[in-house]
Every structure is written in structure tokens, then in C-alpha cells.
Structure 1
Amino acid sequence: MSDESSLQLPPFNGSTVRVSILYAGLLVIPTALMLQPQIPGHDTVDAPMYSFLVENDKVGKKLMYDLGMRKDWREKLAPSIRKLFQHTDASVDIPSDVVDILNSASVPLSSINSIVWSHRHADHTGDPSLFPPTTSLIVGPGFKSNSKSYPGYPDNPDVHTVQDAFEGRDLIELDFDASPLKVCGLRAIDWFEDGSFYIIEALGHTSDHIMALARTSEDRFLLLAGDAAHHVGEFRPTPLLPLPESIRPSPFEAPRSVIACPGSIFEQIHPCSHSHDSGSFRTTPFYEPRPAINSDPATARVTLEALKVFDASPNVLVILAHDPSLRDILEFYPEGDLTGWERQDGQPNSKEAGTWRFLRDFGTKDIQELVKAQQKTE
């Protein structure tokens, strides 16, 4: 995966899916728990919890990819998991969960055929017990045999999952050995068997972690990346997607603005600026994941490298489960869907508008003053 041409996207077989993104609450987490090195001024990470409604009209199927966190987490999660959130100084705000949003949009829960968990952590698993028994639950490889995921609490005292998620419904563990497909070097399953939605093995963060590649048009895709990374600064910039000399639209302006800012102003806060290779700030990600955030850091690195290749393709919009930089870029359900993310209409499309939006996180007073000074000279 040394260059963008190595990304061979699956061929078109005539089918697409409609994908909608649901805002299922917000976590605020100290940056130092997840990312390194520390960049001055970026002390906390806003981590919205995204859920996705995927609809395949041709086969008449709907699924949810991730559910955010259950609203009654303080009462229903294992005490050890509740303490984990409390002791890390993370704040949790869930004004409306996924079921609230679906109900408000008059979507019958019985119409949801499956729930796909990207992995076992409580900020993704939601509350499947609210869905009828006809809704199956899809999990990654090894889930059932791993005591860290199954069975759930209270049968198992120290897991993120809750036993009522599994009761009375089909629990389907994916078998990637049974599929010959690979996408970007990672094993994949054509879920609807029509080339519209692929579930991808993306291990490392947990031993059961998966991503999903959704085809929204003949040659455009959304990569629902789960927790393959926790901040897009872990995979931007790269040699495949270098930081441009002029960033347009500026991350400090409206997302569809034509105003630009120079990429060079971020050199001073990039970790490379303190090394012998300071010139590589345009092609080196701002962050590395802290090893403790992933159950298998070496395997997580393989997944992250694949993520960089997906991200470099103009045909793929990567959406992390907790990416705040896209909140003012994407249209949230039920107001709209993501199907036309690549449309331009004379303005930057969603990928172009959102790629460098994360640089707002580093908008210290000094950076802001540099931007204003540059704009005055133009």
C-alpha cells in the first residue's frame, strides 16, 4: 500500500445503499488519554457518537452501524465500566439516543433487520434490547469466545456489553475465513451480496473491530471507520494526502468558504518542527495513538495504514465514529442523508470541505493571529 493506486475499490454491480448519519450524543475526553504527543492548546477531544442507518432498497433491508451509548449507562453498565468513564474525567451527554431519533422520524424499529457493532465498547453498542427480536446483532470475529465481550454484564462482571443486548435475538459472528474478498489488503464480506455494502476486518483497537465500506453511487463510497482512529490527525497529512500550501476552505472559516489559509502556519505546532526532519510536517500525521488505547498496537497500525490509503482516495469519504470536524459539514438524520456527499454544485464537496477542518483543534491565539495577518496581505 505504498501509493494511492494500490486502492482497488470493488467493481460496480448495479447496487448502492442510502446512508444516513445520526448524532447519538457527545463524549468529551482528555486528549492525553488517546493521543501523543501533546499539542499545546488541544487538551480535550470532543467525541460525538455517530450511528449510521444503511438502507438497501433493492433487497429491502435496513441496518444500523453502531448505536452510540445507551442513555441508562449509569444504571445498566458494569460498575467497572462506569468507573472507567468517571475516573478518566470524560463527560457524557446523550440528549437523544438512536432509538429516540428513529422514533421521532417514524421509523419502526421492526424495520431494522440488523445492528452491526464496530466493536464491543459501550460508546458503540447502545441498547439493542429496545429493538425487537427480529433484529439480529452482527459482531466481529472472535466476539463470542472472548470473555472481554461475551457474555455481557451482569453474567460477566467486567465487560462493556450488557447481556440484555443478546437475549432473544440472533447473534451473528462474522467469519472472514469464508470470504475470498479483500479491500485495501483487509479481509471483507459483501454483506448484501450485491456489491453495495462491505464489512471489513479492521483489528487492533479491539480483537473484534470491523469497519464498513458503503457504496453511495457507482464509484463513490463512505468508509464507516469506527475506532480505527480516534482523531483524523492520526492519518493526516501523509505522502498520499499532503498538507497543501494553501488550505481552501480555511479550517477557521465557514466550511463552504472560498477563503484560504497557508498550510505553513501549522509547521510551528507540528511535532516534526522539533525534530531534525522539520520539513516533513506536510506529509506526517500530527498524532500517534497512545499504545494503551489499542488492544493490539501492532495490528492497529496495519489498520491505520489502510485507513491512510482509503483517505487519500477522492472516491472515499472516511468518517470516524467520533470525528467532530465533520459536524458542520454533514447533514444529519432525519434532515438529510449522506448519499450525495460527492456533489459540488460549484462549492467544495463534503470531502474537500472537511479534510483539513480538524486543524481548527490547533487554533491557538498565535495561529489565529497568523491567519488574520496572512489574509490582510492577500
Structure 2
Amino acid sequence: MRITSPRTLLVLLAIVLLAVAAWFVNERPRTARSSQPTAIPVSVIAVKREDVPRYLSAIGTVQSLHSVVIRPQVEGVLTRIAVQEGQTVREGDLLATLDDRAIRASLDQARAQLKQSQAQLQVAQVDLKRYRLLSEDNGISRQTLDQQQALVNQLDASILGNQASIAAAEVQLSYTRVLSPVSGRVGIRNVDEGNLVRSTDTQGLFSVTRMDPIAVEFSVPQQWLPTLQQLVASSEPAPIKAFLEGDGDSGGTLLGEGRLSLIDNQIAAGTGTLRAKATFSNADARLWPGQLVSLRVQTGVERDALVVPPGVVRQGVDQHFVYRINGDKAEAVTVKVLYQDSRLNVISGVDANDRLVADGQSRLKPGATVEVLDTAPPAQNVARSDASVQP
């Protein structure tokens, strides 16, 4: 066995030391680079100040202000229907006629009886005048004079009864011409000409419904009572917009614009809701009785409000917060949501022109390093209920 010389061992040791030194030189910068935090790409928006109308959203039912079921008031055969289904009529227009021959005969009979009573009264009054002259000379007894006076009074009463019978017959005759009690639209006909109709029939001939103006009734939680009271008492009625059901927050089909007219006189104890009614002009008949619509009631205007898109505000455990950019760091700031809808949030707790993270919050935590992208994301169209905002 050959023994290695000390010189050879020193050479080998030097080679090992050089290799270890070279490894440290290459590995330490790599470790340093891996320990540096990676910047998280985010998009930001600036907080704006603007006037924001505040709205209350609700679902309402369209109701006619005046709807009448047309029923006959006398029994008779329906001889004519003078209007068409869906026709617009005015108050007092002829709608239908009934067979009036029997009633006319009764009217003629009552008139004949009146003339008969008038003739009898005329004869009785002449006799009464003669009896009074004879009684002055005791030509007749006092009893005969009193009997004649009673006969005259009886005939006077008979004439009054005949006149009442004539008036009643004339009223019955007027019922054979069915006139519209309201201006509106004629509904679907339930009875055809030639049918015998009675006042006790459960189903009317048809209905006439007033279409313009028209009302919409809706219910809101009871905490909105003070707000609605202020709106009703205001000199300027609160504007209300009606949309197709479900389109109120998405800017869908507008059916009409109206005004808040009244609130109910009590709160429903079982549901804790308050009924209210709005009145709409409906000349084009876009609102239809019985239709469900989405309502947006303007309850006020938030002046110089701090406004951000809905996606900027995040929900924490028990409060809302936003991520604000401070240099290249993101910091969490607690905010209070004062009002929200599908387009924007009105908040407090930040200042105008503060840069807030609009996209990329899911990867952030307080103090994280961020890289701000040049293009902001499109506004999020997240549907939210206005009922979640306290009045």
C-alpha cells in the first residue's frame, strides 16, 4: 500500500474548498431571489364624488281605479249588445238593451189608473163644493159633508199612489237600457243576445274597466314608513318607475312613470309590511290590470357621495372593507355601505380619488405587494336587493 504524500493531500483539500466556495457563490443569490415577494397584478379604480339618486325597489300589482261588472237590474231577454269586446266606451254610452214590452204595458196601465183617479177626484170635488153650499142652509147633514170630504182625500191619496206607480214603472223601463257607469274598456262577453238574464245572476254580461289613469299597489317593510310619510307629505310627489317584472335593476323595459299617491292606514301585523299605492298615466295602455311589475321609488338624492363599483367592496366577517393602494402595497380599509344597487355602492371610510383594487382581491392580503395593471376591468353587473339598505 502506497502512502499518499502530504503535498497531494493539500492539493485535494484545496480542490474541495474551491468547489464548496463556488457552490455558495452560485446558491446564495438564488436563495435571496426566491425569498423576495412576488408582486400580485391588480386593477384599480379611483373613488369618485357624484350625486346619487336613492331608490326603493318593490314588486307591485297593477289595479284599475274603477272597474264595474255589468249586470241587469231587471229580468228580461237580452235583445241587443251595443258594444264589442275590447271596445273603449265613455260614461253613459249604451251597452245593451232588454225586452221592455211587459214593463211598458205596466207603465201604460199605471198612467190609465192615474187618469181614472183624476176624473173621480174632479167629480168628488164638485159634489163637495155643492154640499158645502147646502150645509149652510142645513140642506144636508153634517155627516154627509164629512163623508164627501173624506172621499176627496181618498182620491187625492189614490192619485199620489198612481204617480208613484208610474215613477216605479219608468225606473224599471230605464233598466232595460244598460248604460256604462264608467269610461273604460269593455271586457270579454259572458252572455249572448237572446238569453234570459236576471239581476240575481252571479255572472255579469261583461265588465268595464278604467285604464287611464291606473294604479299600482305594492308592499314594503315597515321600517320604510317614515320615508314614505315624508314622500307623501312633500309638495313634490315622489317619482316612481314601473318596469316589466324583474327588469327594475337591470334597466329593462320601462312601462310607465307615476307618482306615489298614498300609504295604507295600518301595518299588516302578520308580515310587518306596509301597503302603498302609486298612480300612473296610462294613455298607451302599457300597464294592464292584474299585471306584476317592478317598481323603483326615488326616495332621495345622496349629494357628493363617494361612489365605487359593486365589486370593489368586500364582505368581511362582520364588516365591509376595501383594498386601498398605498405605494406598491395593498392595505385593508374598513368602510360602511350607505347605499347599493346593481350599478354602484355609496360608501364612507375612504377619500375621493383614493385608488382601490377593483379586480384581483382574491389573492390579496393586507401589506401584499401589488403590480397595478393599466386597464381597469369592466364594471360588474351584480344584482343586489335595495331592500338590504336601511332607509
Q: Same fold (TM over 0.5)?
A: no
- The TM-score normalised by the length of structure 1 is 0.22
Structure (1 or 2) with the larger CA radius of gyration: 2
Q: TM-score, normalised by structure 2?
A: 0.22
